[in-house]
């Protein structure tokens, strides 16, 4: 196999990290922005084209699929990213095992999605949307795996053309649905269309450096990968639940009208997460390298640098959501959504905490503490459900936003204490 990446430095200064962030995270931000923008544009088109109740159904199908989608990913991307960084000579084997495991987990996710759709009493149109997004589980998970390969080699820029092509295809399909006054499932179809184009482009590109094959996979490697990934899969489910279960609880406790009011604020705040997520995509392989043998001064310095950058990029967003939230909502979604401004402001500051928590989670993952991450997220879910049950009946969608902020604050304290504890062992 021909390697595609760069040798990761043994010690990381803030300058080194900024250089890597500029190259790798810049590309991840661009591709993530294109993907989020495509989803957001189609969301706006659906909002303008569909009746309010039908748009609420569209939002509910999307939210349910996103909760289940993490099962298709099965936590493999983070584990494979760590493996790509630690064992560059075995990248083809890692990628092969990753794709096989994702095929199995995607089938499981589709079954779970069907159960959730039945429980939420999907309408016939929503069931059509279910079928489209269930098929997209595998397409989306393969896309992430191929991007992860380039990301681990600090060459995420190579994935840009394929991801941009997928985003353009998704928007074009959504625009066609809008122009033709198509029903709700047509807007949901833009998701698998975009990921299908992205997979085709990324597959052709990636085969220039590695050739994934079932012959490179093995049961032993699959079991080892699954053992490392399952705590992160559970953690991923918990994270999505305590962020997105608010939508499901709103539907049950306040109705689809509350879901429609909450979705614009939720989507606007979620869109920014691609920036700290791109930073995470660079810091994880670097931390995995500096902490591969346990706590180290270089790893502690890298963690502090990552947290400093996360603060610098996220705090302005929180301020912007508080100050400009109503202006943005009114001009993007219309005057009827002015009442969602408070929720957007609250979710903006929850997003700041999420950006910091991602870096703390990275440090624990680099230290092979994925099971601790899982238990932290279990506590977070309990906090979030409790807060939602108390706040939604009283404050509707504003209560859902406050529940998210409370959850992320608890998460920040727990993760921060764990990282400080383990990294302090460097000096003992």
The residue with tokens 């990913």 is 73
Burial class (CB in 10 A: 0-12, 13-18, 19+), 123: middle
Q: Helix, strand, coil proportions of the chain in percent (round to 5)?
A: 85, 0, 15
- As a whole number of angstroms, the distance between CA 278 and CA 31 comes to 9
Residue 7 lies in a domain: no
The predicted structure's pLDDT at residue 183:
92
CB atoms under 10 Å from CB of 89, counted, come to: 8
The DSSP call for residue 10 is: S
> Contact at 8 Å (CB) between 348 and 329?
no
Expressed as residue numbers, the domain containing 408 is: 14-427
> Contact at 8 Å (CB) between 309 and 21?
yes
Of 151, 148, 142, whose CA–CA distance to 196 is shortest? 142
- The stretches of 120-159 forming alpha helices (DSSP H) are 124-152
**172 CB-near residues (< 8 Å, 6+ apart):** none
**27 CB-near residues (< 8 Å, 6+ apart):** 156, 157, 158, 159, 160
Residue 100 lies in a domain: yes
Residue 5 lies in a domain: no
Of 147, 141, 142, 179, whose CA–CA distance to 42 is shortest? 179
- As a whole number of angstroms, the distance between CA 28 and CA 163 comes to 10
Residue 106 lies in a domain: yes
Write out the chain's pLDDT in tens, 428 residues. Answer: 334 444 444 455 556 666 666 666 777 778 877 887 898 899 999 999 999 888 989 989 998 898 788 777 777 888 888 888 777 778 888 899 989 999 998 999 999 999 999 999 999 999 999 999 999 999 999 998 998 888 887 778 888 899 999 999 999 999 999 999 999 999 999 999 999 999 999 999 999 998 888 888 888 888 888 888 888 878 877 877 777 788 888 888 888 888 888 988 888 888 788 788 878 877 888 888 788 778 888 888 888 888 998 999 999 999 999 999 899 998 888 888 888 899 999 999 999 999 999 999 999 998 989 899 999 999 999 999 999 999 999 999 999 999 999 999 999 999 999 999 998 865 45
- As a whole number of angstroms, the distance between CA 351 and CA 317 comes to 8
- The total domain count for the chain is 1
Burial class (CB in 10 A: 0-12, 13-18, 19+), 118: exposed
Token pair belonging to 328: 């943005």
> Contact at 8 Å (CB) between 112 and 130?
no
Q: Write the DSSP string, 362-383.
A: HHHHHTT-HHHHHHHHHHHHHH
Residue 347 lies in a domain: yes
Residue 3 lies in a domain: no
The residue with tokens 């069907």 is 114
Residue 9 lies in a domain: no
The residue with tokens 């095929």 is 103
User: 3-state class of 369 per DSSP?
Assistant: coil
- As a whole number of angstroms, the distance between CA 358 and CA 310 comes to 9
- As a whole number of angstroms, the distance between CA 100 and CA 104 comes to 7
The predicted structure's pLDDT at residue 261:
86
């Amino acid at each position: 196999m021909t390697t595609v990446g760069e040798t990761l430095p043994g010690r990381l200064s803030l300058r080194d990290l900024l250089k890597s962030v500029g190259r790798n995270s810049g590309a991840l931000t661009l591709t993530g922005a294109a993907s989020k923008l495509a989803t957001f544009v189609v969301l706006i088109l659906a909002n303008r084209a569909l009746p309010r109740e039908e748009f609420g159904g569209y939002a509910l199908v999307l939210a349910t699929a996103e909760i289940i989608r993490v099962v298709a990913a099965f936590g493999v991307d983070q584990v494979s990213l760590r493996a790509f960084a630690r064992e560059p000579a075995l990248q083809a084997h890692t990628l092969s095992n990753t794709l096989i495991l994702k095929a199995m987990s995607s089938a499981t996710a589709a079954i779970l999605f069907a159960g959730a759709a039945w429980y939420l009493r999907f309408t016939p149109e929503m069931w059509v949307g279910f079928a489209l997004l269930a098929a997209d589980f595998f397409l989306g998970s393969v896309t992430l795996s191929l991007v992860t390969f380039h990301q681990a080699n600090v060459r995420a820029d190579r994935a840009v053309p394929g991801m941009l092509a997928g985003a353009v295809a998704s928007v074009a399909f959504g625009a066609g649905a809008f122009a033709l006054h198509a029903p709700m499932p047509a807007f949901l179809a833009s998701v698998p269309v975009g990921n299908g184009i992205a997979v085709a482009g990324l597959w052709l590109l990636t085969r220039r450096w590695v050739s994934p094959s079932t012959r490179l996979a093995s049961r032993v490697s699959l079991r080892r990968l699954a053992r490392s990934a399952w705590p992160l899969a559970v953690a991923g489910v918990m994270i999505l639940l305590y962020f997105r279960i608010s939508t499901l609880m709103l539907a049950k406790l306040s109705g689809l009208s509350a879901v429609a009011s909450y979705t614009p604020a939720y989507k606007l705040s979620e869109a920014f997460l691609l920036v700290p997520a791109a930073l995470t995509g660079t810091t994880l392989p670097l931390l995995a390298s500096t902490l591969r043998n346990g706590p180290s001064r270089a790893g502690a310095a890298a963690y502090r640098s990552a947290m400093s950058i996360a603060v610098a990029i996220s705090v302005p967003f929180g301020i912007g959501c508080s100050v400009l939230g109503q202006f943005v909502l009114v001009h993007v979604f219309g005057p009827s959504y002015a009442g969602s401004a408070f929720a957007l402001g609250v979710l903006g500051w929850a997003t700041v905490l999420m950006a910091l928590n991602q870096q703390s989670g990275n440090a624990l993952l680099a230290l092979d503490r994925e099971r601790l991450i899982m238990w932290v997220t279990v506590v977070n879910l309990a906090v979030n459900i409790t807060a939602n049950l108390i706040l939604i009946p009283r404050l509707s969608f504003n209560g859902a936003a406050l529940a998210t902020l409370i959850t992320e604050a608890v998460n920040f304290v727990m993760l921060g204490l764990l990282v400080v504890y383990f990294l302090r062992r460097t000096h003992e």
